[in-house]
Amino acid sequence: MAEIETALLEIIKEHAVGLTEPPTRETEINDLGIDSFSIVEIIYEVEEKLGVEVPFNANENPFGDMKTVGDLIDALNNLINK
């Protein structure tokens, strides 16, 4: 699980805009400055690097009820453990 968290944090860090510190589990998604194009890139990288298929509908909010990077990490872990 730690390697998934590390990989996702690194991917997010590459796409986040305006962060003064590296993202952590507590970082608010709204603070990442990620646009819709970056979301698609992040999903692609997650699928490629972690070998998991991420369901994505461009017409829906990709974050759902998630508020923090930790929520994203937990959701990714749930996908992998299915």
pLDDT score recorded for residue 23? 94
| DSSP three-state, residue 10 | helix
Give the 3-state DSSP-derived string for 12-73, with helices as H, strands as E and coil as C. Answer: HHHHCCCCCCCCCCCCEHHHHCCCHHHHHHHHHHHHHHHCCCCCCCCCCCCCCCCCEHHHHH
Per-residue pLDDT of the chain (82 residues; tens, 9 = 90+): 688 899 999 999 999 998 889 999 999 988 999 887 888 898 899 889 888 888 877 667 666 788 999 988 888 888 888 7
Instruction: Give the chain's domain count.
Output: 1
Residue 1 confidence (pLDDT): 60
pLDDT computed for residue 9 by the predictor: 93
Domain range enclosing 34: 2-80
Is-contact 52 76, C-beta < 8 A? yes
Q: What is the pLDDT, as a whole number, of residue 76?
A: 86
CATH of the domain at 66: 1.10.1200.10
Give the pLDDT score at 4. 85
